[in-house]
Chains A and B, each alone.
Chain A
């Protein structure tokens, strides 16, 4: 029984799915140099693997100093947003075959946040904007003894914006945010939207006041980069527009 199994393995390796792909990674290490540099890595990899697998291969087999964030590696934790071929994506949700491995695949840190090392950026301003919109349930009066009930229609109202994983792909794709980090950014507005339009929440008025600020929703120039970049498919620009309209009509 052992021999046929061996034959099968040999037949498989003959038709190797592997290709040679070049990864052009933007390296930055402040302990070595203030300059950034592009470094090419050539690796043998199955194009059906993800860009994150390629980064792992490089880090584990070629250059251990390559630095990037990742945690769950399955598109839920939102750690590995990076700019792949010029566009913000999650490395763990991007298949190599989808980013044209014929040419060198460029990988760089997301834009608009300070690069700490290689692909790792300082996320503090991003999460500060998130905290500033108070992303938690605000209620008045006595706590009910049971759950706070909500109809399916009321839940549907903000369903899209509950999907956010806070990866910063949207905020760091926004030209307004690149120019001025004071702008709340799409992700914070999406998370404000999630509570503003929640029928159980009573802090909508406060959140709207926060976003009525000069660095709030009015700085959105509807470039739709955020909607295109969102790995969860949230219609980010639409959510921002709904907050704008809620500010004008005070109906939410």
Chain B
């Protein structure tokens, strides 16, 4: 029997969903990362080929996505630790979530140039 409509949770539920999604994405990255790093033991040439593809603008965009996922997961992780261990944590969970989002936005803006600068120069010329 279908479960009915989507439950209308609030900030807490959606931050949990986002935490899960970013966690799974980071797992997939780590999986690929272990594989490509292990490749150097198989064939250093193949490793160089693979790493060369990482310099393309599309992968740079993926890297920016990775930064986004890791930053959210890390910051929200701290919030969850505070919810569990700080006596006033549950009461301030919404404020803490919006602080997490605020810090996340600032750090994402800061990561624009270091992560995407190379790709922008490649696409639009320097």
Contact = CB atoms under 8 A, between A and B. Distances in A.
Interface string B1-33: 111111111111100100000000000000000
A115 B6 contact: no
B83 interface: yes
B90 interface: yes
A228 interface: yes
Given A222-B83, A222-B84, A241-B83, A26 B13 contact: no
A68 interface: no
A244 B85 CA distance: 9
Interface of A: 26, 28, 34, 36, 83, 85-87, 106, 108-109, 111, 115, 173, 175, 178, 221-225, 227-228, 235, 237-238, 241, 244-245
B121 interface: no
B12 A228 contact: yes
A223 B13 contact: yes
A108 B4 CA distance: 8
B5 A224 contact: no
A86 B7 contact: yes
5 contacts: A173-B9, A175-B16, A224-B90, A237-B12, A241-B89
B13 A36 contact: no
Nearest to B14: A223
Contacts of B6: 86
B5 A222 contact: no
Given A235-B90, A237-B90, A224 B11 contact: yes
A225 B5 CA distance: 16
Contacts of A86: 5-8
Given A178-B3, A224-B11, 9 more contacts: A36-B4, A86-B5, A86-B6, A173-B9, A222-B80, A222-B90, A225-B10, A235-B90, A237-B90
A235 B91 contact: yes
B16 A221 contact: yes
B4 A224 contact: no
A147 B71 CA distance: 56
Interface string B75-114: 0000010011101011101000000000000000000000
Per DSSP, chain A at the interface is mixed
Size class of B's contact patch? 20 to 34
A17 to B, nearest CB: 28
B93 A224 contact: yes
Nearest to A84: B8
Contacts of A235: 90-91
A174 to B, nearest CB: 10
B13 A224 contact: yes
Contacts of A237: 12, 83, 90, 93
Nearest to B16: A223
Contacts of A26: 4
Q: By CB atoms of chain A within 10 A, which of B4, B85, B91 has the most?
A: B4
Nearest to A115: B1
B7 A36 contact: no
A190 to B, nearest CB: 13
A115 B83 CA distance: 33
Contacts of B10: 224-225, 228
Nearest to B12: A224
Contacts of A221: 16
Nearest to B90: A238
A244 B3 CA distance: 30
A228 B10 CA distance: 8
A106 B5 contact: yes
